[in-house]
Amino acid sequence: MYNVMKQVAGRRSLRIRRASLALVGLSALAAAVSAQAETLNIVSWGGAYSESQQKAYNEPWMEKTGDEIVNIDRSGNALAGLRAQSQAGNVTWDLVDMLPADALIACAEGLIEPLDHDALLADAPDGTPPSEDFVDGALDECFVASIVYSNIVAFNTEMFPEDKQPSTIADVFDLENFPGKRTLMRKPINNLEWALVADGVAPEDVYDVLSTEEGVQRAFAKLDTIKDQVIWWQEGAQPPQLLADQEVAFGSAYNGRIFNAMLSEGQPFEIIWDAQVFELDGWVVPTGKLDKVKDYLNFATDTQRLADQARYISYGPARKSSSGMVSTHAETGIEMTPHMPTFPPNFATAIPKNDEFWADNIDELSRRFDAWLAM
C-alpha cells in the first residue's frame, strides 16, 4: 500500500511540475508577444477614408500581431508636421498617409525614407513583383500609393429643378443658370484647373496653359466670377455638411466623402464627374522609422488588403491585382464599380493631377492664391 501511495504521489508531483512548466512557458510566450508588440502612430485623413483603412487592414493587423495602432488625423498638414518634428529632433509619427506632390518635397528634404519597393512590398498572388503590379506612377523614390481617388464637385439635387440639374464643371461657374453658394477648398490646387476648363481649356491642355503667366492670370480671372459666392473649406468633412445643410448648392470634395454621405446618410447629392482631378494617395515613412513599420507596410499594401479597402469606400486600389477582387460594398451590397473614379463613363474628361508641376509651383501659387483671397 505504501508503494502504491508513493507512486500516486509521485505521479501527482510530476503533473504539478509539468503544469507549472506549462504556465511558465505560456507566461514566457505572453511576455515575448508583449515585448514584440508595437504602438504604431499612423497619420491619415480621418473620416470615411480612415474608417476604410481601419476596417481593411488596421483591425486585421492588430488581431494578427497584438500591435496597437493610434490613428492621427493630420494628413492635411502632414508635410508641415514632419518638418516641425524633424527640426525639433522628435519625430513621433511612424507612418504618414500623404499626397505624391508633398512626398516629392519631403523626399527631397530628407524627411522621409527612400523605399526599395520590390524588397519591401508583397508580390501579387501570381508572383508579379510590386514594380509591375502597382499602377503607373504609384511607386516613387519615397512613396507607395494605396488608392486612386478623385477631387470632384458635387451638388445637392434638391436645390435645382429636376429638369435643370447641373452636369459640367462650367455649370459650377454659371451663377445665372445655377445660382447658390459654392464651397471650394482653400488651396489653388484643383480650383485653377477647374477654372481653366470652365473657361474653355481642354482637360489635356490644362497644365500647359497653367505653366504660363497668361494661363495663371486666366484661371484667377475665371475664379473672380464666382469669388463672392464661395465659402472656402479646409477640412474634408466640411463640404458634405454644408451641402446637407443647403448652405451651399455646389461643393468640391473627395469623391469618397460624397459617396459615403450618399450611401450611409442618404444625402441627395450627385457627383459631377466632368473634369475630375484624379490622383494617387499613399504612404511615406518618416526618416528612421522604416524598421518599425516595414512589416505593417508590407501587409497594408498587399493585394488583398487594397481590394478589401475598396469595399468600404469608392477609391480604386493602386494595385492591378486588386482591381478584379473588388465587387460590392461590404455593408450594403451595392456594386462599387460605377462609383469608382476610373469607371469609364466617369473618367472620360478626367485630369490627371500633375504632381511634379505642383511640387515645383505650390509655394508660389499658394502665395498668389492667398493674396487673391485677401483682395
Q: What stretch(es) of the chain map to CATH 3.40.190.10? A: 39-148+281-323, 149-279+344-374
pLDDT (tens digit per residue) in 70-98: 999 999 899 999 999 999 999 999 999 99
Could you give the CA distance from residue 77 to residue 352 in angstroms, rounded to a whole number?
Answer: 22
Query: Residue 123, CB half-sphere, CA atoms under 13 Å: how many?
Result: 5
Q: How far is CA 1 from the centre of its chain?
A: 76
pLDDT digits 0-9 by tens, 195-239: 999 999 999 999 999 999 999 999 999 999 999 999 999 989 999
pLDDT at 163: 93
Alpha-carbon distance 14 to 21, whole Å? 10
323: left (phi over 0), alpha (psi -120 to 50) or beta: alpha
Q: Which residue has the cell 471650394?
A: 184
Asked if residue 69 lies in contact with residue 61, where contact means CB atoms within 8 angstroms, the answer is yes
What span, in angstroms and rounded, lies between the C-alpha atoms of 327 and 336?
6
Chosen CATH of 39-148+281-323 out of 3.40.1350.10, 3.30.70.360, 3.40.190.10, 3.40.50.300: 3.40.190.10
Quick one: DSSP state of residue 314? S
Predicted structure pTM score: 0.78
pLDDT given at position 30: 41
CATH T-level fold of 149-279+344-374: D-Maltodextrin-Binding Protein; domain 2 (3.40.190)
Predicted confidence at residue 198, as pLDDT, reads: 98
Across the chain, what does the average pLDDT equal? 91
Measured CA to CA in angstroms, residue 203 lies from 17, 169, 171 at distances of 77, 11, 16
What distances in angstroms separate CA 194 from CA 117, 179, 180, 197, 213, one per listed residue? Answer: 34, 18, 18, 5, 17
What average pLDDT does this structure show over 166-184? 98
pLDDT band at residue 29 under the 50/70/90 scheme: very low
Cell 469618397 belongs to residue: 256
The three-state secondary structure class of 327 is coil
| Sign (positive or negative) of CA dihedral 94, 95, 99, 103 | positive
Q: In whole angstroms, give the CA distance from residue 26 to residue 200.
A: 70
Q: For helices 78-88 and 100-108, what crossing angle results, to 10°?
A: 20
Cell numbers 429638369 correspond to: 163
Q: Which of 9-13, 293-297, 345-349, 364-368 has the lowest mean pLDDT?
A: 9-13
Let me know: does 122 contact 301? Beta carbons within 8 Å.
Answer: yes
Mean pLDDT within 102-124: 97
Note the pLDDT of residue 326.
Answer: 87
- Grid cell of 106 as nine digits: 519631403
- Give dist(CA 158, CA 182) in Å, integer: 15
pLDDT at 62: 98
> What does the alpha-carbon distance between residue 97 and residue 78 come to, in Å, rounded to a whole number?
8
33-54 confidence digits (pLDDT tens): 444 789 999 999 998 899 999 9
C-alpha cell at 115: 523605399
Which stretches of the chain are assigned E, i.e. beta strand?
39-44, 68-73, 95-98, 139-140, 143-156, 182-185, 230-233, 250-254, 269-284, 316-317, 351-352
Query: Residue 34: CB partners within 8 Å, gap ≥ 6?
Result: 66
pLDDT > 70: percent of the chain: 91
